[in-house]
Amino acid sequence: MTTTAGVNTASATPLPTATTESVRPPAGENRAGWFFVAPFLALYVLFLIGPVLIGLVISFFNTTTVRAGLGDWVGISNYTSVLRNSDFWASIWHSVLFTLLTTPLLIALPLLFAILASRLTRNRWFFRLAFFAPYVVPSSAVCLIFAFMYTPETGLITNAFGWVGLPAPNFLGSEWGAWFAVVLLTLWWTFGFNFILYTAAIQDISEEVYEAASIDGASPWQQIRSITVPLLAPTTGLILLLQVLASLKVFDQIYILLAGGPDQKTRPALQYIFDTGFTSYRGGYAAAATMVYFLLLVAISAGWYLVRRRQQNSVIG
Amino acid sequence: MNSMSRRSFLAASGGLAAAGMLSGCGTPVATNLTGGQPATADVIFWHLFGGGDGENLTKMVQDVEAADRMSVEATLLSWGNPYYTKLALSASSRRPPDVGITHLSRLPLLARAGLLSPVAEEGTEAAGITQDKFTPAAWKRATVNGTAYAVPLDTHPFVLFYNVDLARKAGLLKPGGDDLKPIEGREGFLAALRAMKQAGGRYGAVMSITADPSTTWRWFMTLYSGLAGPILTDQGTRVAIDAGAAEETFAFMQSLTGAERLMPGNATSTTTSTLFGQGNVGFLFEGEWQIPTYRGVTLPNGEPLNFNVVPFPAILGDKAVAYADSHALVIPRSPGRSAERTANSVRFIKGLLDNSSTWAAGGHIPAWLPVQESEEFRKQEPQSNYVQAAFDAVYDPESWYTGAGSDFQTRVGAVITNVLTGATNPRDAVGAMTATLQRFATARPPVQ
């Protein structure tokens, strides 16, 4: 998936510094709180914490997906062979490359269109709907439609290149054609999520700031540059993190549209894990690859958190 | 009081839901929970054939259903890795189909992982499905450690297509017929290609090279197997490639696509079918399953394309070999399968074998000798011309990672493609091939 689960947009804007001293709720309320989160906790342990722990254990065994049981203890040899495997590093590079190609576009374009849509005075709902609608289409449907449009000779997008006098790249058969194909698809498909986050944040900016600016004679462009964009910075930071993590988890589009091809030149890290774990039946090895990739993602999140905390501290101090 | 009544309402409706689930024992939901099979038909059958093969198979299944009065639910899954992933995972989680298709090149892992029943244990011998009634090379690859785990349906070799009219112009035909004169050895083969080039113009032969690693792998195996034995031994854990033979093979391949331009070095599958289909090239190196592609094709001058298909002659060695694979029927192990379903499965397999002359329409050689030797098959042209290829068949080296559509073929085929396009010289290609094989051979096998 290229996008993460819904995020409360309120957290995108800086919360007012806590003024109320933290008050302990009475014990009865506390128990009720646990009771209400219990269904979530149960699912979280069952489907997230549990599998992660199982994955950690089997990464030290020669576990296979075609036999029950753990298999033989192999120590850290799964890890050493994962780290030495050039295919693994190539697949990580493909995930990183996809992130580098999509993230700037998926921040700049939603920001631009959210600002444009906010300046409309009528039928705003239509544009919001139009931009968000593709996001709810399932990945398989999106990929089938785009595969149809990318078909050599007959596809719509292939022909569109001809209308403007450009030679169409081989979208499904050449390396850069394939990257173009999958980036364009992803842009159309997941644009709406970031667009909605920006739209919500723009609505939170107080009208009075603009009013004051226009009294001082600021042009619309100056208002956008000096008010809207800076005040959206926290949202941009959030979208950047979500987008980087989501893009590094890319799997669906590349698997369905290209199967990691041509010649595994677009195979992302998750497909490498899927291929070794399920297609080659090497569960233990794939678990080790997953752990390495998991640590990489944790490191990125932690790095982002530290950078942000330092920024906030410098603002306060 | 109010909340009490709400609770009792919830309890009652929960009970109703549970009762509904338990009563529906045969529904897919219930069988998933209890671990049995959904009994939606007498036999559940999984396969991977689309296109012309898919149509032939559908007809065979319908014929068996009508003749044996049973219902068969046939499910088509995506060809290659996705199919094998699903088959293996369904069997290891004990919810497999009753009958499945496999390539014999993919059988070793499935059998060694204990996912398949030895076919004799399911009663195939009692139904008359015995070793002596199959092409020996196919039956041999259906056995693992001396036990048969699959019933071969066909052999599908890599073969030599030729354009009859161009061959006649090139003087390659026996007088008074459509048959090729015998082609002898490396020089004979080169001479035939040169003659075809002179007769046809652009090239002597064509094969799909670009983005088609499986085809380049088949071509390599056809040539190399004439010179040396398997490139991998010990279940794929030891690299046994003969460097001298491999270099000779690569050098020969490159001599065809190189300076003399007897073959194009960058043809895609589309170029290939265009060149051969329009009568511009005399020879085509291709799997027999492409016969339906060229049948009924008309040339630019309005005449039908007149082609024939023969096994490859001995080119680099003394003995003709045919790189091939086989489709076969397997019965995945399933603890919950009733004796009745097992009996139906065996009847279904027997029915498919008896109808395999329909299957042969797709170009495949039936492995079931009663059909292979029957008049009905013998009169199918050109299929009956290359029956010998099934007996000379060489399969993928036996291992857990080789086989049709495998990553192994993609990887090794990419090295061979670089030889054919001229990007790598033969000596370096042997090094690259050995390194690739080493990477697979040293990976820890999922099953021993």
* B412 and B284 assigned to the same domain: yes
- CA–CA gap between residue A156 and residue A153 (Å, rounded): 9
B173: pLDDT strictly greater than 80: yes
Question: In this complex, do A68 and B92 lie within 8 Å of one another by their Cβ atoms?
Answer: yes
Q: Are residues B178 and B287 in the same domain?
A: yes
All residues of chain A having their beta carbon less than 8 Å from the beta carbon of residue B84 are 279
**Which pLDDT value is given to residue A81?**
92
- Taking the Cβ of residue A15 and every Cβ of chain B, the question of whether any pair is shorter than 8 Å is answered with no
Q: Nearest residue of A to residue B439 by CA position?
A: A85
Q: What is the dihedral of CA A282, A284, A289, A290, to 10 degrees?
A: 110
Please give the average per-residue pLDDT across A31-47, as a whole number: 93
Measure the CA angle with vertex A133, ends A128 and A134; round to 5°: 130
Q: pLDDT tens-digit profile of A205-250?
A: 988 999 999 999 989 899 999 999 999 998 998 899 899 999 999 9
Specify if B310 maps to a domain.
yes
The Cα-based distances of A67 to A52, B97, B110 in angstroms read 20, 17, 11
B92 touches chain A (CB under 8 A): yes
- What's residue B244's pLDDT? 96
B421 touches chain A (CB under 8 A): no
Domains of chain A: 85-316 (1.10.3720.10)
Determine the Cα–Cα distance for residues B217 and B231; give it in Å rounded to an integer. Answer: 12
A73 interfacial to chain B (CB closer than 8 Å): no
Residue B303 included in any domain: yes
Residues B63 and B140 in one domain: yes
Q: Do B407 and A280 touch (CB under 8 A)?
A: yes
Q: Tell me, yes or no, if B447 comes closer than 8 A to chain A by beta carbon.
A: yes
Interface test with A, best of B85, B102, B269, B410 (most A CBs within 10 A): B85
Q: What is the CATH number of the domain that holds B272?
A: 3.40.190.10
Chain B nearest-CA distance from A80, in A, is 12
**CB-based contact B115 A280, cutoff 8 Å:** no
Least confident range from A268-272, B36-40, B51-55, B187-191: namely: B36-40
Same structural domain, B177 and B283: yes
Give the pLDDT score at A5: 42
Number of folded domains in chain B?
2
Residue B287 covered by a domain: yes
Confidence of residue A4 (pLDDT cuts 50, 70, 90): very low
- The verdict on B54 and B143 lying in the same domain is yes
Give me the pLDDT at residue B31, please: 56
Where a domain ends, among B311, B345, B366? B366
Residues B210 and B311 in one domain: yes
Report helix, strand or coil for B31: helix
Residues in chain B: 448
Residues 242-281 of A with CB under 8 A from B: 262-264, 275, 278-281
Question: What's residue A251's pLDDT?
Answer: 94
- State the pLDDT confidence band at B36, using cuts at 50, 70 and 90: low
Is the residue at B385 inside a domain?
no
Specify the amino acid at residue B67: A
Contact list, B81 vs chain A (CB under 8 Å): 275, 279
Mean pLDDT of chain B: 90
Both tokens assigned to B146:
């001396």
pLDDT at B100: 97
Q: List chain A residues with CB under 8 Å of B115.
A: 66
Given CA atoms B246, B248, B249, B250 in this order, what sign does their dihedral have? positive
Which H/E stretch holds residue B310? Answer: strand B307-310
Q: With beta carbons less than 8 A apart as the criterion, state whether A211 and A229 touch.
A: no
Please name the residue that has the structure tokens 């589309």. Answer: B270
Q: Across the interface, do B446 and A77 touch by the CB < 8 Å criterion?
A: no
Question: What does the block give as tokens for B130?
Answer: 């015995």
> Which chain B positions have a beta carbon within 8 Å of A67's beta carbon?
92, 113-114, 446-447
Same domain, B246 and B292: yes
Nearest CB to A66; choose among B88, B211, B213: B88
| B153 or A32, which is more confident | B153
- The answer, for B115 touching chain A at a CB cutoff of 8 Å, is yes
Q: What is the pTM of this model?
A: 0.82
Same domain for B416 and B356: no
B197 and B283 inside one domain? yes
The answer to whether residue B114 neighbours chain A at the CB level (below 8 Å) is yes
Is B47 part of a structural domain of the chain?
yes
Partner-chain contact A280 B92, CB within 8 Å = no
B410 domain-assigned? yes
Amino acid (1-letter code) at residue A236: T
Which residues, numbered 278 to 317 in chain A, qualify as contacts with chain B under a Cβ-Cβ cut-off of 8 Å?
278-283, 285
Q: What are the φ and ψ backbone dihedral angles of A217, each rounded to 5 degrees?
A: 90, 25
* Residue B265 identity (one-letter amino acid): G
Range of the domain at B113: 39-152+327-366
How far does the CA of residue A106 sit from the closest CA of chain B (Å)?
32
Nearest in space to B251 (alpha carbons), one of B316, B323, B184, B185:
B316
For β-strands B322-325 and B393-394, DSSP reports them as parallel
Is B169 in the same domain as B192? yes
> Residues, chain A, total?
317
pLDDT in tens, A164-195: 888 888 888 788 989 999 999 999 999 999 99
Query: Which residues are CB-neighbours of A4 under 8 A, at least 6 positions away?
Result: A242, A245, A246
* Neighboring chain A residues of B446 at a CB cutoff of 8 Å: 62, 64-67, 280-283
Residue B404's nearest CA partner among B250, B237, B217, B150 is B217
Mark whether B336 and B309 lie in a shared domain.
no
Give, in order, the Cα–Cα distances in Å from B213 to each of A12, A178, B70, B208, B217: 50, 19, 41, 9, 6
Contacts of B88 in chain A (CB under 8 A): 65-66, 281
Q: What letters, b where the CB count within 10 A reaches 16 and e where it falls short, cover B65-94?
A: beeeebebbbeebebbbbbbbbbbbbbbeb
Q: Which pLDDT score is estimated for A15?
A: 46
Asked whether A139 and A256 are in contact (CB, 8 A), the reply is: yes
Q: What pLDDT was estimated at residue B409?
A: 94
Contact predicate A4/A241, CB 8 Å: no
B9 has pLDDT over 70 = no
Higher pLDDT, B268 or B390: B390
DSSP annotation of B241 reads -
Cβ–Cβ of A74/B89 closer than 8 Å? no
From chain A, pick out residues whose CB is under 8 angstroms from the CB of B447: 64, 66-67, 281
- CA-atom Rg of chain A in angstroms: 24
Q: Residue A281: closest CA among chain B residues belongs to which residue?
A: B446
Q: Within a domain: residue B144?
A: yes
Residues A280 and A273: their CA atoms lie apart, in Å, by 10
Residue A134: predicted pLDDT: 93
**Residue-level pLDDT at A14:** 47
Residues B301 and B436 grouped into a single domain: yes
To test the contact with chain B by mutation, choose from A76, A267, A279, A285 the residue with the greatest count of B C-beta atoms within 10 A, namely A279
d(CA B142, CA B146): 9
DSSP B132-147: GGB-HHHHHHHEETTE
CB distance B445 to B242 below 8 Å: no
DSSP-assigned states of every residue in B401-413: S-STT-HHHHHHH
How deeply is B11 buried, as exposed, middle or buried, from its count of CB atoms within 10 A (0-12, 13-18, 19+)?
exposed
